Amino acid sequence: MACDSVLDLIGGTPLVRLAHLELPGIELWAKCEFCNPGGSVKDRPALQMIRDAVADGRLTREKTLIDATSGNTGVAYSLVGAALGYRIKLVMPANVSAARKQITSAYGTELVFSSEMEGSDGAIRMVRELVDAEPERYFYPDQYSNESNPRAHYLGTGSELVEVLGDRLTHFVAGVGTSGTIMGTGRRLKEHRRPDGGSVTVVAIEPDDAFHGLEGLKHMASSIVPAIWRPQESIDRIIPMPTEEGWETTEKLKEAEGLFVGHSAGANVAGALRLARELHGRGETGCIATVLCDRGDRYFVPLKWERRYEY
């Protein structure tokens, strides 16, 4: 494969069958979003939001793109900004992983840190204050309200699942953070009708508690609710997910499938396994797809990137 830009590598991620975790009669598939060049599912919406904003004139060379992020979207913005030549400034909670801070900085992105006690909502509030103070300086895509976010998954993730799994697909499971993945993919999958006239069941995974450890996911009852989160449009069910179950499933993925992924991916697979057990218990068959959001090494404390070495 040859391409003209690193951005051409975004999307078209492989599906891997979780054969060692499956139950009899239930196919379990995972979209390897960590194979995007920025290492996460967030490459898709970052590219879509920037391209759409450039096309309609909201983002120009004179402006700096600014947004709130817990990490992965920030890496994606930084990659796309570097590839296209746009300045990026990000606000993130001070307690996001060192890896995400260092990766975004390596692209030349300017970082501002909000209170670790206020989580992603605190970062959102800080961004709004900065933009209100200097509106001419910034383009604020607002990933939580930007329709280009779910559009990326409607055009990409959802269509790719239909292309590969087709009429076999019965369920799709994904976590709720900005909600772009589940909303956009869900809309596309709801348009696909199987020969029996049925549609894909779309299931959202949400942390079961405000003080959870599933980084990147939102407990909606205690959070600023994203404007793009409209579950009545395409969500059939919401599963509250305990942190422990998500983390334990992350370990199972390493040990049983050789997949070293983050805890939000573990939560997604945990939700898919719950559905598989329910179907199996009723004597039904099914084909369940989910998303592996990012790699586990993004949560390590990495070595510092050095310009000079001594031998």
Say yes or no: 75 and 21 in one domain: no
Say yes or no: 258 and 197 in one domain: yes
- Non-local CB neighbours of 215 within 8 Å, separated by 6+ positions: 70, 71, 96, 97, 262, 263, 264, 299
Print the domain residue range for 117: 43-139
Say yes or no: 124 and 180 in one domain: no
Model confidence at 1: pLDDT above 90 = no
Say yes or no: 187 and 265 in one domain: yes
Say yes or no: 177 and 289 in one domain: yes
Does the residue 128 lie in any domain? yes
- Residues forming a β-bridge with 290: 30
Name the domain count of the chain: 2
Say yes or no: 242 and 293 in one domain: yes
197 or 4: which leads in pLDDT: 4
Query: 288 with 173: CB under 8 angstroms?
Result: yes
Per-residue model confidence (pLDDT) at position 311? 45
Tens digit of each residue's pLDDT (9 = 90 or more) over 149-172: 999 999 999 999 999 999 999 999
We report the CATH number of the domain holding residue 109 as 3.40.50.1100
Model confidence at 246: pLDDT above 80 = yes
Say yes or no: 239 and 282 in one domain: yes
Ordered DSSP codes for 205-256: EEESSSS---TT---GGGSPPPTT--GGGT--EEEEE-HHHHHHHHHHIIII
- Residues forming a β-bridge with 163: none
| Banded pLDDT at 254 (limits 50, 70, 90) | very high
Q: Would you tell me how many other CB atoms lie within 10 Å of the CB of residue 78? A: 26
Amino acid present at 45: P
Tens digit of each residue's pLDDT (9 = 90 or more) over 198-243: 899 999 999 999 989 898 899 999 988 999 999 999 999 999 999 9
What does residue 241 show for φ and ψ, rounded to 5 degrees? -120, 120
Rounded to an integer, what distance in angstroms lies between the CA atom of residue 151 and that of residue 204?
17
Does the residue 307 lie in any domain? no
Tens digit of each residue's pLDDT (9 = 90 or more) over 91-147: 999 988 787 788 899 999 999 999 988 887 899 999 999 999 999 999 999 999 999
Does the residue 149 lie in any domain? no
Say yes or no: 232 and 267 in one domain: yes
Rounded to an integer, what distance in angstroms lies between the CA atom of residue 246 and that of residue 277?
16
Query: 170 with 189: CB under 8 angstroms?
Result: no
Per-residue model confidence (pLDDT) at position 262? 94
Say yes or no: 166 and 243 in one domain: yes
The strand pair at 15-17 and 26-32 is best described as antiparallel
Tens digit of each residue's pLDDT (9 = 90 or more) over 41-90: 999 999 999 999 999 999 999 999 999 987 899 999 999 999 999 999 99
Does the residue 13 lie in any domain? yes
The strand pair at 138-139 and 201-207 is best described as unpaired
Last residue of one domain, picked from the residues 91, 113, 139:
139
Query: 162 with 193: CB under 8 angstroms?
Result: no
Last residue of one domain, picked from the residues 83, 105, 139:
139
